[in-house]
Amino acid sequence: MGTKEILENLKQSIIDGNRKATPALAQKAIDMELPPYAIVTDACSPAMAEVGELYQQGEYFVPEILMSAKAFEAAMAVIEPHLKSKRLEFTGTVVLGVSEGDIHSIGKNLVAIMLEASGFNVVDLGTDVPAKKFIGAAIKSNADIIGVSALMTTSMIGMKDIVRLVKEEGLGVKVMVGGGPVNQEYADSIGADAYGRDAMDAVRVARNLMEDVRGA
């Protein structure tokens, strides 16, 4: 089985929610000495991005999402120790969480893994996080970025509250938003500093924001 095939099989197994197959496929990729970060960016992350698209298109529902999430987590349990052993030098601190009223953590968890693998210190607040908790954690950790995700349109209002509080408190922290119903237009409308389309894009965006932070 070649490199391309093993990555494609791993990706498809996550999309299919095949929790039994993904650990072995992930281990096979590691045994083939594929870079751990590349396994995530070329198989795991694209798989979850496609699952999100299937959900938005009405082809996947919550049960399918949960199955894919468990398959993803089973693969990452194999890959993550290798990511940690190859962590890059410190990049910055990100306070990360899911907006208040939302308990969907799939996207947020993937973003956390990708950011940590890219050298960021991630303060993970979990799900259903009130705006004030984001602010408190950002102050306590001297964060550079607040990252907020939402999978439900009803919880997107929390993002607006976070941006407002950041400005009211006069914090220098940047706010990055993302998630299924979120887009660039919404990010602009609430005054967020950036929008991350998916986990891979979130890393790129976070790095760009860090350039702004250092240049300030």
Instruction: Delimit the domains of the chain by residue range.
Output: 3-85, 92-215
CATH of 92-215, one of 3.40.50.1220, 3.40.50.280, 3.30.70.3270, 3.40.50.300: 3.40.50.280
Residue 141 has pLDDT above 60, yes or no: yes
Better-scored residue on pLDDT, 9 or 52: 9
Q: CA end-to-end span of the chain, whole Å?
A: 49
| Strand order, beta sheet including 120-124 | 120-124, 92-98, 145-149, 174-178, 194-196
Average pLDDT in the 36-60 region? 84
pLDDT attached to residue 11: 96
Dump pLDDT digits (tens) for 161-183.
Answer: 999 999 999 999 999 999 888 99
Least confident of 8-22, 46-60, 111-125: 46-60
Q: What is the DSSP string of 147-186?
A: EEE-SSGGGTHHHHHHHHHHHHHT---EEEEESTT--HHH
Helix (H, G, I), strand (E, B) or coil at 98: strand
User: Tokens at residue 148, please?
Assistant: 């907020």
Residue pair 96/187 in contact by the 8 Å Cβ criterion: no
Q: How far apart are CA 46 and CA 161, in angstroms?
A: 30
Model-level pTM? 0.72
- 88 closest CA partner among 123, 120, 114: 120
Question: Domain 3-85 classified CATH 1.10.1240.10?
Answer: yes
Average pLDDT in the 74-95 region? 80
